[in-house]
Amino acid sequence: MSWHATVLTLFPPMFPGPLGLSLAGHALSAGLWRLEVQDIRDAATDRHRTVDDTPFGGGAGMVMRPDVLDAAIGCDDGRPLLYLTPRGQPLTQDRVRALASGPGVRLICGRYEGVDQRVLDVRGVEEVSVGDYVLSGGELPALVLLDACVRLLPGVMGAEASGEDESFSAGLLEYPHYTRPAEWRGHVVPEVLLSGHHGAIAAWRRAQAEQITRARRPDLWRRHVNLIDLPGMDSAPAGP
């Protein structure tokens, strides 16, 4: 059975969208993963196919009804059920890796002001955010989450790009890349990369990854330092 994604949305035509192209698209055609798109509106029971209502307590906007969303979710099938929301836990590569190694995901895309809290509580939904900004719907976040998972599925990336060496894989941001020409606008490629000395190249890349992480993401750096517990290592945020 291939990895199975179900997306609950009010805008089914937004899928597969970019996931129908390139790596994810080829993998979809090859059956390495499966995408099911479910229109939440199909679960509405009135003739206007209403899915939302005004918020209790007043305020702007509309809220997705719990009864309609619950009916759209249907039976639990063992796959994690996630709601994309700015209020959720930030999505991390660790969580992506765990989701990619499971049977698949079911994703709820919010619209309007969001969804009625009771359906999230009753269904034990995991709330996930793709960043500290507000988008108009959960569809783009769902595409982001699916893209991040699908590229890790067996057979999706070539052996030459296994994902083991990327940003976050060892808790660090990635080192810089260079390709031909070796000199461009007077800028030369770091000499060590032309040396053919694999040990020296690995050490240089590691040092670059550490330096970039320390300068750009003190939060990741502190975590990395704590995990590897380097004696005498300064874990304070570094300046640029």
Q: Which of 20, 102, 103, 131 binds ligand SAM (CB under 6 A)?
A: 131
- Site map 134..163 versus ligand SAM, x via CB under 6 A: xxxxx--x----------------------
* Residues that contact ligand SAM, how many (by CB under 6 A): 19
The CB-of-63 to ligand SAM minimum distance in angstroms stands at 9
Interaction of residue 170 with ligand SAM, rule CB under 6 A = no
Binding segment toward ligand SAM, per CB under 6 A, in 17-25, 67-75, 110-118, 158-166? 110-118
Torsion sign (Cα): 159, 163, 166, 171? negative
Helix, strand or coil, per DSSP, at residue 206: helix
Nearer to ligand SAM, 104 or 114 (CB): 114
Residues 15-24: contacts with CB under 8 Å, at least 24 apart: 15/139, 15/142, 15/143, 17/143, 18/143, 18/147, 19/143, 19/146, 19/147, 19/150, 23/150, 23/151, 23/156, 23/157, 24/146, 24/147, 24/150, 24/151, 24/156
User: Under the rule (CB under 6 A), what is the footprint of ligand SAM?
Assistant: 84-87, 109-111, 113-114, 129-131, 133-138, 141
